[in-house]
């Protein structure tokens, strides 16, 4: 009898394997019509019918019973909303195709689906809930169509997607980037922001260590939140939005490759604590007249700083630690004519090499500057005297530069997005 045991096992395997293989691939109108044993064995699931979101509906069973599911195809399913926590912590899920007619992705819908590899947001989707894809550590690509209806991406929606790389394009209907939306996306290389963006939340891009090149913040942004770009170690240039009013605490803290000039626009009234702390490659800063205070550690550790141009005729109150770690005597502080004695008597400022400004860029004059594309050329008009005009591609590479007054133009060879920079202010144009 013992001699026949291997044959019996083999025969049993031949009988069971085909049914198991069949059970691994489930195609159905909905998952609730599939038996529990087949749900448990299902690896590749395709649903085509109307999906339910009640307590024991399709998404509840997908999460709780389909414990081996690696692929979920909902492309043809009738489903406008994926509910809160729908597939929270489905660790084996690698492939996800969302419904074409999907409108809303709920809070934490796919939280910690840490095997998920790629994600495409359907064009009809208008709302992504908070932490919807947070901690999906294996996502490498995020695709949002150009014609997207997306108007809201919730706080921390993609936080901790540490494998996400390439450039993410934020659609034009997004007016606010909420707190922590891409925080901890350590491999994210670029971000394209819409021209009408008004606000960037706290920690929005914190610890995006590979975010590089020049980030163009457009014209409309009024608030940049606390730690919005903190520890973006590869970020080399930033163009401040012309409408900026508030720069939050630690907004660019630890961006040690951030270099060149930082020009804060004339309507900036608040620079947060530690806003540029540790930006050791920063060389120059322009501070407008209406800034109320230079707070603690604002420029601490900015050891590359060589010049500060300040518009305020009366010395702006400055915290004793605002420039901690710097040899201020080696930094030129350019102040308005008639103000030099006041600055020489003022705490903190008296430690600088104070000079009367001979040429501080007129920020108000830049309000009249415009950039547009006509017949294969970008035209820049309304330029103040001796304006430095530079043309960059979207990757931040300098293509051409010139000094001009009134009008300047550059020839464009290829279709795409370009950045025009005038005396530190940037304009995005499309050819």
* Structural domains for the chain: 365-430 (2.60.40.3080)
CA distance 4 to 10: 10
CA atoms within 13 A on the CB side of 165: 5
pLDDT tier at 15, thresholds 50, 70, 90: very low
Pairing of strands 377-393, 398-411: antiparallel
**Mean pLDDT score across all residues of the chain:** 89
Q: Which residue has the higher pLDDT, 98 or 261?
A: 98
Predicted pLDDT at 361: 45
Mean of the pLDDT values across residues 89-102? 97
CA distance 38 to 291: 65
Tens of pLDDT, residues 132-180: 999 999 999 999 998 999 999 999 999 999 999 999 999 999 999 999 9
pLDDT at 10 over 50: no
Tens of pLDDT, residues 379-420: 998 887 667 788 888 777 788 877 777 888 898 888 888 888
Instruction: List Cβ neighbours of 209 (8 Å cut-off, separation of 6 or more).
Output: 186, 187, 231, 232, 233, 234
Ranking 83-92, 193-202, 325-334, 413-422 by mean pLDDT, the lowest is 413-422
Tens of pLDDT, residues 239-274: 788 789 999 999 999 999 998 888 888 889 999 999
pLDDT tier at 11, thresholds 50, 70, 90: very low
pLDDT at 224 over 80: yes
CA distance 324 to 322: 6
pLDDT at 22 over 70: no
pLDDT at 92 over 50: yes
Q: Which two tokens stand for residue 99?
A: 């419904």
Tens of pLDDT, residues 332-388: 999 988 999 999 999 999 999 999 875 444 454 566 688 888 888 899 988 876 677
- DSSP assignments along 23-38, one per residue: HHEEEES-GGGS-HHH
- φ, ψ of residue 216 to 5 degrees: the values are -95, 115
Long-range contacts of 166-172 (CB under 8 A, 24+ apart): 166/141, 166/190, 167/191, 167/192, 168/142, 168/144, 168/192, 169/144, 170/144, 170/194, 170/197, 171/144, 171/145, 171/146, 172/196
CA distance 319 to 266: 21
Predicted pLDDT at 394: 78
Q: The pTM is what?
A: 0.81
Mean of the pLDDT values across residues 28-34? 95
Q: Could you give the percent of the chain with pLDDT greater than 90? A: 67
pLDDT at 110 over 70: yes
């Amino acid at each position: 009898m013992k001699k026949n045991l291997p044959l019996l096992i083999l025969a049993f395997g031949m009988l069971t394997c085909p049914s198991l293989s069949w059970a691994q691939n489930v195609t159905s109108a909905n998952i609730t019509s599939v038996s529990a044993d087949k749900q448990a064995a299902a690896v590749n699931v395709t649903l085509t019918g109307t999906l339910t979101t009640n307590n024991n509906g399709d998404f509840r069973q997908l999460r709780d019973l389909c414990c081996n599911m690696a692929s979920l195809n909902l492309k043809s399913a009738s489903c406008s909303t994926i509910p809160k926590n729908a597939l929270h912590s489905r660790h084996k899920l690698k492939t996800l195709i969302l419904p074409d007619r999907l409108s809303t992705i709920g809070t934490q819908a796919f939280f910690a689906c840490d095997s998920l590899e790629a994600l495409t947001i359907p064009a009809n989707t208008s709302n992504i809930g908070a932490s919807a894809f947070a901690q999906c550590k294996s996502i490498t690509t995020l695709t949002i169509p150009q014609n997207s209806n997306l108007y809201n991406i919730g706080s921390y929606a993609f936080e901790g997607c540490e494998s996400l790389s390439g450039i993410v394009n934020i659609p034009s209907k997004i007016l606010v980037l909420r707190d922590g939306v891409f925080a901890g996306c350590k491999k994210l290389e670029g971000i394209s922001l819409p021209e009408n963006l008004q606000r960037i939340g706290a920690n929005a891009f914190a610890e995006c260590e590979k975010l590089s090149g020049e980030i163009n913040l457009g014209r409309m942004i009024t608030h940049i939140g606390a730690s919005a770009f903190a520890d973006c170690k590869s970020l080399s240039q930033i163009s401040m939005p012309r409408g900026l009013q508030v720069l939050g605490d630690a907004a660019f803290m630890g961006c040690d490759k951030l270099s060149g000039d930082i020009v804060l626009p004339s309507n900036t009234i608040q620079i947060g604590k530690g806003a540029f702390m540790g930006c050791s490659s920063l060389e120059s800063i322009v501070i407008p007249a209406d800034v109320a205070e230079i707070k603690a550690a604002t420029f601490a550790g900015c050891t590359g700083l060589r010049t500060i141009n300040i518009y305020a005729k009366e010395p702006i109150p400055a915290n004793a630690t605002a420039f901690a770690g710097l040899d201020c005597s080696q930094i030129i502080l350019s102040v308005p004519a008639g103000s030099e004695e006041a600055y020489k008597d003022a705490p903190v400022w008296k430690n600088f090499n104070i000079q009367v400004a001979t040429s501080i860029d007129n920020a108000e004059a830049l309000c009249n500057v415009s950039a547009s594309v006509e017949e294969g050329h970008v035209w820049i008009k309304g330029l103040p005297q001796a304006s430095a005009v530079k043309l960059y591609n979207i990757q931040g590479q300098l293509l051409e530069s010139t000094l001009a007054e009134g009008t300047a133009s550059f020839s464009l060879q290829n279709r795409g997005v370009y950045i025009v920079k005038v005396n530190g202010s940037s304009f995005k144009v499309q050819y």
